Amino acid sequence: MLGSGKGSNFMAIADAVAAGRLAAEIAVVVSDVPTAGILDHARARGLRAVHLPPGRFRSKLDEESEPRLIQLLTEARIDWVVLAGFMRILKGEFLRHFEQRVVNIHPSLLPSFPGLEAWKQALAYGVKQTGCTVHLVDQGIDTGPIVAQEAVPVLGDDTPESLHARIQVAEQRVYPAALHQLLSGRVRIEGRRTFPV
């Protein structure tokens, strides 16, 4: 699992693993931020937690960090890469190495409002509902095949904070469930589309 923040989605997934609702093992938790809460949560659960310095770029891993991450995950013998609030764009060699094995959750009903702070985009646009999307990561920004979505209503008195908080609750429900479908082979991927098996 890769994350940059406090680790709320990590906690939901780790709880699902511990409760037996998700047949998986979290091999390693990696963050580009040395003080990220996700690392503290991982250590508290006895999981391997690694800080990977991202290099000189703000939005992606540099040409030294990306191969280090690939090596770290390969040595950990991972099957899937699960993004939980990882704020670096993954492209190129990383996605070729783990093709169709990188999963992300985005706080909107994609393809609407890709990119940063999607809940603010939704609120500014005036939509009546938004939500979250579990998707496979491809070379674009939030453009990979959609695995699962959950809608969240936008209320008349919503602030960016209140809307984001409700989307996060939905994320913590849908992400472990979608991972269960993927990891148990109940999702078939054909090009840009996914189908239940």
Pair type for strands 102-106 and 81-82: parallel
- Cα separation of 144 and 119, whole Å? 19
- Identified catalytic residue from 41, 106, 164, 180: 106
164 is catalytic: no
Per residue, what are the HEC states of the chain?
CECCCCCHHHHHHHHHHHCCCCCCCCCCEEECCCCCHHHHHHHHCCCCEEECCCCCCCCECCCCHHHHHHHHHHHCCCCCEEECCCCCECCHHHHHHCCCCEEEEECCCCCCCCCCCHHHHHHHHCCCEEEEEEEECCCCCCCCCEEEEEEEECCCCCCHHHHHHHHHHHHHHHHHHHHHHHHCCCEEEECCEEEEC
Q: Which positions are catalytic? A: 106
